[in-house]
């Protein structure tokens, strides 16, 4: 009987909560969440521009930039609204660094080795010939001190860099002629940026700076004899197989290139803490997502290139690779001589690289050799 009376009392009290005598109980809460992507009336909306070095919506890098903007729009409930522009829509591909530094756009997306003319050591934050893979680069940047050094390097330009994509190991590139020995590299005009371009030059080739949107035309018209771009996923999208016959590997020049998001620091500092945190988290998510995108789509793209279009996949000769490797050691170390900070970046990279090579010989490399 006591139990019965207790339950009855609870039911009575519960009914009181929905009584007409308490109209506030049926009204929506003042803190009820709004629909995703629809900011509350009181929320301040930050409308930003993101300029990129990529052709608009290029699979991988271009779509990665779009995903970064869309992710931030959703995470912020519409408070951070970023419009993405492809190369040439607002500024040229190689003008992104300066435009974001000056505040013409709040964000940029590209690769640090494009700024080698301004900051030679910056190329190490994209990739180093015969250097670290994507997994190893992520380890160095996140937990090996790399990101702190990267931000120190960009600080004088009022820029905050973030890792925001990785293509994984690339192909050596497309060639209009066979490469049978080091003699075939002499005088070869090739689109190849960063430290890899300097290595090619010292081996007898001629590196040429060409933005991604102009690579196909340059190769087709003979302005260049060869080009590296990314890998099957991107190369098929640009139609490079219709402009060159030979597709070479291995990826000596770009074993794990990191893409970057650039944020104007003044604009970044003006954001509330939660939006700044969202940018950090979203960039890391896109960094991983772009690598997964390339890993998945390179498979089918390579099959299409070989089986449908008859592309010849070939290995670079041993003497060519040996020359590239010996020269690359010189090129990378010379980049460290520009400043005290450059030397610290070089030392940090090489120390981490030596350690991870020792470990991966017993794990990743050993496994790949036996599987």
- Report residue 129: phi and psi, to 5°: -55, 130
pLDDT of residue 310: 96
Mean pLDDT computed over 60-88: 97
The Cα–Cα gap between 147 and 54 comes to 23
Q: Are strands 189-191 and 46-52 parallel, antiparallel or unpaired?
A: unpaired
The Cα–Cα gap between 177 and 187 comes to 12
b/e per residue 237-274 (b: at least 16 CB within 10 A):
bbebbebbebbbeebbbbbbbbbbbbbbbebbeebeee
* Among 30-34, 79-83, 329-333, the least confident range: 30-34
* Statement: residue 2 has pLDDT above 80: no
- Report residue 245: phi and psi, to 5°: -100, -35
In sign, the C-alpha dihedral spanning 77, 81, 82, 83 is positive
Full 3-state SS string of 251-264: CCCCCCCEEEEEEE
- The sheet with strand 46-52 has its strands ordered as 80-85, 46-52, 107-110, 258-264, 159-166
What angle do helix axes 146-154 and 340-362 make, rounded to 10 degrees? 160
The confidence band for 39, taking pLDDT boundaries of 50, 70 and 90, is: low
pLDDT of residue 37: 52
pLDDT of residue 31: 37
Q: What domains appear along the chain, each with residue ranges and CATH number?
A: 46-168+256-295 (3.40.190.170)
pLDDT per position as a tens digit, 115-139: 998 999 999 999 999 999 999 999 9
226, 244 in Cβ contact below 8 A? yes
Better-predicted residue by pLDDT, 216 or 32: 216
Q: Residue 247 is inside which H or E element, if any?
A: strand 246-249
The confidence band for 103, taking pLDDT boundaries of 50, 70 and 90, is: very high
Q: Which two tokens stand for residue 241?
A: 């197989």
Entry pTM: 0.86
* Statement: residue 215 has pLDDT above 70: yes
pLDDT of residue 43: 86
Q: How many CB atoms lie within 10 A of CB 46?
A: 17
What's the number of CA atoms in the CB half-sphere (13 Å) around residue 319? 7
The Cα–Cα gap between 177 and 184 comes to 9
Nearest Cα to Cα of residue 30 among 15, 16, 45, 40? 40
146, 131 in Cβ contact below 8 A? no
Question: What is the percent of the chain where pLDDT is above 90?
Answer: 87
177, 225 in Cβ contact below 8 A? yes
* Statement: residue 250 has pLDDT above 50: yes
* Statement: residue 60 has pLDDT above 60: yes
pLDDT of residue 41: 55
pLDDT of residue 28: 36
Mean pLDDT (the chain, rounded)? 90
Q: What is the DSSP letter of 102?
A: H
Bridge partners of residue 246, in order along the sequence: 175, 312
CB burial of residue 30 (10 Å; 0-12, 13-18, 19+): exposed
* Statement: residue 248 has pLDDT above 70: yes
User: What would the DSSP string read from start to end of 122-161?
Assistant: GGGGT--TT---HHHHHHHHHHSSHHHHHHHHHGGGTEEE
The Cα–Cα gap between 294 and 251 comes to 15
* Statement: residue 270 has pLDDT above 50: yes
131, 255 in Cβ contact below 8 A? yes
* Statement: residue 16 has pLDDT above 70: no
The Cα–Cα gap between 101 and 51 comes to 12
């Amino acid at each position: 009987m006591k139990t019965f009376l207790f339950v009855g009392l609870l039911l009575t009290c519960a009914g009181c909560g929905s009584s007409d005598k308490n109209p506030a109980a049926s009204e929506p809460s003042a803190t009820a969440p709004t629909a995703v992507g629809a900011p509350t009336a009181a929320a301040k909306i930050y409308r930003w521009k993101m300029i990129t070095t990529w052709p608009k919506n290029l699979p991988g890098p271009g779509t990665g930039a779009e995903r970064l903007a869309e992710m931030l729009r959703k995470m912020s409930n519409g408070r951070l609204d970023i419009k993405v522009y492809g190369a040439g829509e607002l500024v040229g591909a190689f003008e992104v660094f300066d435009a974001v530094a000056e505040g013409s756009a709040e964000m940029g997306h590209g690769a640090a080795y494009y700024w080698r003319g301004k900051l030679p050591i910056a190329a190490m934050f994209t990739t180093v010939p015969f250097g670290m893979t994507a997994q190893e680069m992520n380890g160095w940047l996140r937990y090996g001190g790399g990101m702190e050094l990267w931000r120190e390097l960009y600080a004088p330009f009022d820029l905050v860099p973030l890792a925001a994509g990785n293509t994984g190991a690339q192909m050596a590139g497309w060639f209009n002629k066979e490469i049978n020995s080091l003699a075939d590299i002499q005088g070869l005009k090739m689109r190849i940026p960063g430290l890899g371009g300097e290595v090619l030059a010292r081996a007898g080739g001629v590196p040429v700076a060409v933005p991604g949107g102009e690579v196909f035309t340059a190769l087709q018209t003979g302005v260049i004899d060869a080009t590296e771009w990314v890998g099957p996923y991107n190369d098929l999208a640009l139609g490079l197989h219709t402009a060159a016959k030979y597709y070479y590997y291995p990826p000596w020049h770009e074993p794990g290139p990191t893409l970057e998001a650039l944020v104007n620091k003044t604009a970044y500092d003006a954001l509330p803490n939660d939006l700044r945190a969202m940018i950090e988290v979203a960039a890391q998510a896109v960094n991983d997502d772009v690598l997964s995108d390339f890993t998945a789509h390179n498979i089918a793209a390579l099959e299409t290139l070989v089986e449908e279009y008859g592309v010849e996949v070939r290995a670079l000769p041993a003497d060519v690779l040996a020359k590239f490797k010996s020269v690359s050691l010189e090129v990378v170390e010379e980049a460290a001589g520009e400043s005290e900070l450059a030397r610290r970046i070089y030392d940090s990279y090489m120390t981490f690289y030596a350690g991870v090579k020792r470990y991966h010989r017993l794990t990743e490399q050993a496994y790949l050799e036996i599987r």
